[in-house]
Amino acid sequence: MVITPSALSTIDPAGVSSVRVLAVAGEAVGPDLVARWCGGTDGRTMVNLYGPTEYTIWATGSGPLSATEPVTIGTPVRGAAALVLRRRTRAPVGRGDSVPVRSVTC
């Protein structure tokens, strides 16, 4: 299931126990939502997808999210490159304010 975190927050996880893999995209996802959906013993997996509007598709994807680890946007998908910048220079982890993305054109 691919869904925005806001929409996912309105759904009771117990009501959709058949959903095993979730991909959240379109806005930031917080650790509380990860804990609600993936904090149990049901084996559910959640990944976080990111892509700027002008890219029109996901440019990065995370590995499986954990309720006990920070939520990241992951790494670039094949054919893309992404940098986390702060004032046009590389940013320390968790301190960026922009993510320019480059893709390979065919």
Q: How much is the pLDDT for 40?
A: 73
Extents of the domains making up the chain? 2-76
What is the CATH T-level fold of the domain 2-76, as seen in this structure? Rossmann fold (3.40.50)
Q: Contact, 24 vs 48, CB < 8 A?
A: yes
Measured CA to CA, the distance from residue 46 to residue 64 in angstroms comes to 5
Residue 84, C-beta contacts closer than 8 angstroms, at least 6 positions apart: 90, 91, 96, 98, 99
Question: In the prediction, which pLDDT does 96 show?
Answer: 64
Using left for φ > 0, alpha for ψ between -120 and 50, and beta otherwise, residue 35 falls in alpha
Q: Going residue by residue through the chain, which has 106 residues, state the pLDDT in tens, using 9 for 90 and above.
A: 889 999 999 999 999 989 999 999 989 999 999 999 998 777 899 999 987 776 667 788 899 999 888 888 888 888 888 777 777 677 667 666 666 666 665 4
Residue 37: what pLDDT? 93
